[in-house]
Each structure stands twice: as structure tokens, then as C-alpha cells.
Copies of this chain bind each other. A is one copy, B any other.
Amino acid sequence: MAGLLVILDGLGGRPTDFGGATCLERAAHPNLDELAAQGALGLMDPIAPGIRPGSDTAHLSIFGYDPLKVYTGRGAFEVLGIGMEVRGGDICFRANFATVEERNGQLIVLDRRAGRLEEGKLLEEAVNSVSLRDFGVEMFFRASTEHRGALVLRGEGLSAAVSDTDPHEAGVPVAEARPLEDTEAARRTAQILNAFTRRAYAVLRDHPVNKKRVAEGKLPGNAILLRGAAVMPHLVPVTEIYGIRAACIAGGALYKGVARLAGMEVLSVPGATGDLKTDLRAKAQAALEALRSFDLVFVHIKGTDNAGHDGDAEAKRKFIERVDREFFGTILADLPKGLHLCVSGDHTTPPAVREHTADPVPALFWGPAVRPDRVRTFTERAAGEGGLGRFSGRLLPQLLGYCDFGSKFGA
């Protein structure tokens, strides 16, 4: 027996989205309705009733972790979101390219965003050439959009209890990182960050990219400001908890990152773009293929959330129809024997709101072990009448429970 967990990001909606109906209610989804008729529905609060989830915290909760315990802050999870491979215990920072000027040995910040430079990727290698090995520490830097990036420190005796080197204003020196608790690890980490500030400036100051920008009258990206130190949590991998092999199929880096942290193998699927244009048939084929060798396959589909953030109810409705036809149509045409399936969202993104809301999300379980209810369609309202009632997160433990994975707690 194997389990397939399909998360349609931002799936849920509100009556205000479509003149009295949600996108899911207005969309035709015969395949999902067929699964609903044979399976059972419930309403899931991704974290707890009334909590507006982020995609990161929601996925932790859906996988069975308690985000109130393991979520260490946006800093750590943004690092996952830009696709860096991190490990539990790594110290993560949000980073900015900035423009500084040396005055009396001090680095004065002229622009915290280096004129929103676009050449971050071209400067990435130089930043990564900074060595902190004399401290026994590895450092990884990744540029993302515009002036943004992230930095990871890896090594023994590090702490996230350090203040930012980002002074959060211009016209003042780059801030000295200070320990925020009285520990050797915090003191040492602050010292390492201050060394990093100087060493990064040394490699960026005369970098050809910056020379070119200055020649063009633009602000150089000659310093890195760090903020929001957070430790990457040590999660006990679901593969270990349940003694299974697990795979992830996703377009977005954040989902791949959380899945990797949870012990899943991230599969590469050409055409899985993490947006409305994603190749849903390719993802379904990849899932069917993966189900031959993995006990659990997690598929993340992002487009529903994008349309919600865009405030485009019609795009969300159409995308749901495409998911039903292209993804679930492909799965149902070649259904593996003994498969258990869970379909849900990670939160509600109503086009009428254009943001994540706290509303509960419909969840569908299907497979031989699932006791069917009377609900025959996959919508928010139908889920409210479903036989599985209302629960918080934990879709993955429930799905694996139906598959009889995992050991007893107790005797």
C-alpha cells in the first residue's frame, strides 16, 4: 500500500469570490467528485481554528509537525524558499546587498538595497569565496531577487541569538553583531558575523560588476547586511518516524525545502514550474512512476494560490478544472492497486481577499481503508458535512495511518 498526498496551494475560497460561491464550487471537477463519492471528506484547519497560516507553517503542520514548536522564524524558511540545501542546526539569515562607504575605518551604509541592483547572481560567487574556515565554520550564500539573498552558517557551537548587522537605516555604520544571550556560542557567532562583514566588503569592493555599476553612475553592491538570525529546526524525518520511503514532486522551492527537511526525496519533473502554466499531466505521470518505488508521494500544486493572490477568481476556477482533468484524470486512468489518496490545500486564498485567510480547507481521503461518507462532491460546503469532521493539520499522519505505516505509540 502506498499513499499519495496532493496539496493544492491556497485551495479554499469564500462565497465572496464568485458572487455567492467559491471557485471550487463554480468549477467542474468530475474526477474529484468521483473520489469524494467513494471516499470521505472533512474540514481541516491547517494549524488551528482562526490561525492564518503561511505556506511554510501550514506544510509543517500538514506533515505532522507542530509549527508552534518547530517553526523558528521566517529567516530559516526563506532559506528553503530560495532553494538552499540546509540541515537542522544551520543558522540562517536574510541578506541584502547594500552600498557602503569607508570612512575612518567604518563602513557607512549609503543605501540598504544597493539601488535594488539586479546583478546579485553575478556577485554570488564572490560572496561565497569568503572563508570562515579559521572559525571552523562553513558559509553558504545565495542571491535571490533584486538586492535580496540568504546566508547560512554551518558548524559546531553556533547560536541564532545574535543581533542584525543590518542597521535598518542609511547614514549609519553597518551594525556590529552582538550576542543576545550570555553564551559562548552567541559571542562566537557575533564575532564570526563581524568578520564576515569585513571579508565580504573586501571581495565586493573592487569586484568588476561593482566597478561597472559605479562607472554607469549606479550604486555598487559592495556589502552584505544580515538580519533575522534563525536556526533551522531538527525535524525527525517522516521517513524515520514511519519507516517509509517518501518523495516530493513540487515546482516551488519552499515546498521542496520543507519536504527535504521532512526526509523526502525531491524528484525533478520537467515542466513542473510552480505556477499556473505547470505541466499537470507530467506531474501526475511522475507521481504514478514514483508510487512504484516510494511508500509516500507528496505532490504540491501551486497555481490555485497564485490565482488567489492575483485576485483572479476565474483563473482559479479554470486552474481547478485543469487540475481535475489533467492531474486527477491521469491518476485515475492508471490507479495503482491499494493506493490511498489525500487531496486538500495548505490554506485558503480567496481571490476576494488576495491573501491567505484562516478559514478551514476541504480535505478528501480515499482508498480501501477509508470509511465512505455520504458526501458526493468535493467542495468546501460538502466537506463541512463530511464524515471525517473537523481536525487540525496532520494530513500526512492520517494518510499513512490508512496505509498502516508507523508503529504503535504504547503497547
**A interface residue numbers (CB < 8 A to B):** 14-16, 22, 40, 42-43, 45, 47-58, 64, 67, 71, 74, 77-78, 81, 350, 353, 355-360, 368-374, 380-381, 384-391, 394, 396-402, 404, 406-411
Query: Among the interface residues A57, A400, A401, which one has the most CB atoms of the partner chain B within 10 A?
Result: A401
Contact A389 B387 (CB under 8 A): no
Contact A410 B358 (CB under 8 A): no
Selected A-B contacts with CB under 8 Å, 8 pairs: A15-B368, A50-B397, A50-B400, A56-B410, A57-B410, A358-B401, A359-B369, A384-B389
Chain B residues near A370: list those with CB within 8 A. Answer: 15
Contact B15 A397 (CB under 8 A): no
Contact A15 B372 (CB under 8 A): yes
Given A40-B384, A384-B40, A401-B357, answer yes or no on A407-B371 (Cβ-Cβ < 8 Å): no
Contact A14 B369 (CB under 8 A): yes
Given A16-B369, A50-B394, A372-B15, answer yes or no on A387-B387 (Cβ-Cβ < 8 Å): no
Contact A410 B371 (CB under 8 A): no
Docked Cα-Cα span, A386 to B360, in Å, equals: 14
Contact B15 A47 (CB under 8 A): no
Q: How many monomers of this chain does the complex have? A: 2
Contact A74 B397 (CB under 8 A): no
Tell me if A's interface is mostly helix, strand, loop or mixed. Answer: loop
Chain B residues near A42: list those with CB within 8 A. Answer: 389-390
Contact B388 A386 (CB under 8 A): no
Contact A49 B353 (CB under 8 A): no
Contact A389 B356 (CB under 8 A): no
Docked Cα-Cα span, A397 to B47, in Å, equals: 12
Contact A52 B384 (CB under 8 A): no
Contact B358 A411 (CB under 8 A): no
Contact B408 A356 (CB under 8 A): yes
Looking across the interface, which residue of chain B has its beta carbon closest to that of A380?
Answer: B371
* Contacting residue for A402 out of B64, B359, B384, B410, CB 8 A: B359
Chain B residues near A64: list those with CB within 8 A. Answer: 50
Query: Among the interface residues A54, A368, A389, A410, which one has the most CB atoms of the partner chain B within 10 A?
Result: A410
Query: Among the interface residues A58, A380, A389, which one has the most CB atoms of the partner chain B within 10 A?
Result: A389
Contact B384 A55 (CB under 8 A): no
CB distance from A404 to the nearest CB of B (A): 6
Contact B409 A54 (CB under 8 A): yes
Docked Cα-Cα span, A55 to B408, in Å, equals: 10
* Contacting residue for A53 out of B43, B74, B78, B409, CB 8 A: B409
* Contacting residue for A54 out of B77, B406, B408, CB 8 A: B408
Contact A389 B43 (CB under 8 A): yes
Contact A411 B371 (CB under 8 A): no
Contact B371 A401 (CB under 8 A): no
Chain B residues near A52: list those with CB within 8 A. Answer: 401, 406-409
The 9 closest A-B pairs by CB, nearest first: A54-B410, A50-B397, A358-B401, A389-B390, A384-B387, A57-B410, A50-B398, A54-B411, A56-B410
